[in-house]
Structure formats: C-alpha cells, structure tokens
Amino acid sequence: MMKLYLISGFLGSGKTTAIQNACTQLMKEKVNVGVITNDQGVQLVDTRFMRNANVPVMEVTDGCFCCNYDKVDSLIEVLKESHYAEIVFAESVGSCTDMIATVVKPLQKFRKDIETVISVFVDANVLPTMLQSAPLFVDSVTYIYKKQIEEADILIVNKIDSLTDDELSKMDRLVNSKFPEKTILFQNSLDKDSIIQWLITLENFKSGARSSLEIDYDIYGAGEAELAWLDIEMELFADENNAFETGVTLAKEIHWEITEQKLPIGHLKFFIDDGVQQKKISFTSGVQTSINEIGKTVSAKADILINARVQTEPEHLKALVFNTISKIEATSGYKFITKDISSFKPGYPKPTHRIID
C-alpha cells in the first residue's frame, strides 16, 4: 500500500525543508519517494528547491489541493507508475485547511490503495503569539492557522533550534496543555536525528476515525483574501561576476522594506541560480531566515524567482518590490529584466469534494 504523507501548516512553517531532508534520508535507504508541491500561484520556489535536490516532484498550481482533487489524484498515480514511489509527500499551500473532508476522506473513498497521515507544521517562534497574545495576522487569517492545527494527526513544532532551553521548556508545557490529544514532535528539520524521528512516527502512526472540521468557509475565504500573492521571475545582469551576491542583497532589501512597513509576512522566498550555485532564501514572520553558506560568485548573470505571501494589497506589495529593484539598479548600474509576474489575492475556496460524515 502506498503511503501518502499529507503535509499542512501555515506559510513559512518550514514544511518544504523538512520534506526535502526526509526525502534525502529515505533515498539513502533505497526507498522510492515523490513529492507534490502546491500553491495558488504557478511559479514555485519550492518545486525548484526539490528538483535541485534531485527529488522527483510534481506540482499542483493555481489553487489548493481541495479545489484540485482530481489533479492530486492523477499526480499520485504518475509518481507511483513512473517513479515507483512507495511514499509520497504532498505539501498543501500554507493558507489551506479542511484537508480531512476535501482530500483525506475522498482518497479513502476512491483510493483504497493509499494510506494517509497528516502532519501539520507550526513555527516555534510564531505559535505562542498566535495562541496566547496579539496574533501576527488579522482574525480571519488566524482562524485558518488554528483550523490547520485542529486536523493534525501529528503536530510538528518546528524550528526548535532557534529557541533557548527555557523557551523550549515553556513551549513544551504550552503545546501539551493546549493539544493533549495530539501526537506532538518538537523538531529541528535541519537535524538528521529529528527527521528520522519524524519518519519513524509517520511509519508507525495508526489513524483512527477522523472527524471533518466544522468550518466557516466565509471566514476561511476572507482569511485567504487578506494575503497578497506575488510571484516574479527575472534575470539579473551585473557588470562584474557578482550577480549571485547582488541577488542575495535584493532578497535582504525586500525583506527589510516589508519589515520596515510592519507588514505581516506569510512567507518570502527567493531561488537564485547563477549557473554555478543555486540557493533558496526564506524569510517569515518568525526568526529571520535560512541563508546558507554562499560560495564564491563567478557569474555576471543570475536567474531569480520570488514568491512573496504578505498581508497587504497585491498592488502595494508589487510596488514595494519594484521600488527596491529600482534602488539597486540606480546604485549599482546593474539591470533586472522581468520575465514573468503574477500578482493577486486567492479566490474563494471551492472544493471538488467535501465529505463531512
């Protein structure tokens, strides 16, 4: 029986890094894996990140899993038949919820050959604020965040490496008091032992009868509509062989501008490729980012893909990004050429199936 590990959790909670490292570990163990990425947009940093790690990956774009159930089903079959996948990780877009009714139960009804476990990721730096004090986002967005947690089989409190021992102890008490019925893992997804523990928990998890969420789709839809989506694919041309460094500078400057304006960040992702090295850079509303070690830059050209999910208006986010680009062009003399751009707010969620019994 194929195992489908459905990965949910809010934007910026570290799902993709965990999946990539889990796949790397499983491939070392000669397990055939596959990944399905998902987004409301069509140009995905996460897909390129997976391909760069040589992980078989398909994508569901232009809408969440629940609204594209047939596509999810067909891609599971492709990964099974073409890549002999024994385990598929399916990562839903970070603003999506209601997975049990719209994905898990339809799969149970139509695909008896698939066993599903839901892991929901939360950022350890964001969770206390969302549960206890003034949330980072407006109420309708916070509603989605809490509904995601509600339907977790396994709740992953991620990025614990950014906490002190005292903070981790307080987090342990908070989470176990709030969710005593959940299987909970405190995880550093950059750590091999943490990833192995997650995989063991997934392998041994026995799901019982799951209850579909009681959910208000008007609040859910309003929450998604609070977030601006901006995807930009561009080329950077530099006069010197420092295009990669300039791409990193762009990422930091855009993040600084968004933070300066106090706009809540769902996630802000960049994929930079200068033909020699490829890096993913991520910013969230929690701890800053993952900018890994950068090697010596040797190219005067770089391809850059930006995925920004921010609580603001799309036109405002777009103007902010292009104003930042213009400033860098003015001071450096370098040139950014936009190849593709998409700027929007998600539409009202309309699931293909919704089984609530």
Q: Which amino acid belongs to residue 208?
A: G
Confidence at residue 290, expressed as pLDDT on a 0 to 100 scale: 53
Confidence at residue 86, expressed as pLDDT on a 0 to 100 scale: 97
> Which CA distances in Å does 26 have to 3, 85, 87?
13, 11, 9
pLDDT digits (tens, 9 = 90+) for 3-14: 999 999 999 999
**CATH hierarchy code of domain 228-344:** 3.30.70.360
Contact assessment for residue 173 and residue 220, using Cβ atoms and an 8 Å cutoff: no
Which range, 185-194, 202-211, 240-249, is most confident?
185-194
Sequence ranges of the domains in the chain: 2-223, 228-344
Confidence at residue 208, expressed as pLDDT on a 0 to 100 scale: 81
**What sections of the chain are H helices per DSSP?**
15-28, 45-52, 69-82, 99, 105-110, 127-131, 139-150, 165-178, 192-204, 217-225, 243-260, 314-332
Instruction: With a cut of 70, say whether residue 296 has pLDDT above it.
Output: no
pLDDT-derived band at 350 (thresholds 50, 70, 90) equals very high
Confidence at residue 287, expressed as pLDDT on a 0 to 100 scale: 52
Tell me if domain 2-223 and domain 228-344 are identical in fold: no
Query: Rounded mean pLDDT of the chain?
Result: 93
| SS3 label, residue 281 | strand
Q: Structure pTM?
A: 0.94
Please give, one letter per residue, the 3-state secondary structure of 90-129. EECCCCCCCHHHHHHHHHHHHCCCEEEEEEEEEECCCHHH
Segment holding 283, helix H or strand E: strand 278-283
CATH topology of domain 2-223: Rossmann fold (3.40.50)
Instruction: With a cut of 70, say whether residue 293 has pLDDT above it.
Output: no
> Which CA distances in Å does 282 have to 76, 220, 227, 257, 286?
28, 25, 17, 15, 11
Confidence at residue 135, expressed as pLDDT on a 0 to 100 scale: 77
Sheet with 183-187, strands from edge to edge, namely 57-60, 33-38, 87-91, 2-9, 114-123, 154-158, 183-187
How far, in Å, CA of 226 to CA of 311, rounded? 6
Mean pLDDT of 213-229: 97
Of the candidates 120, 249, 265, the one whose C-alpha atom is nearest the C-alpha of residue 184 is 120
pLDDT digits (tens, 9 = 90+) for 143-186: 999 999 999 999 999 999 999 999 999 999 999 999 999 999 99
pLDDT digits (tens, 9 = 90+) for 103-153: 999 999 999 899 999 999 999 999 988 887 677 899 999 999 999 999 999
DSSP annotation of 65: T
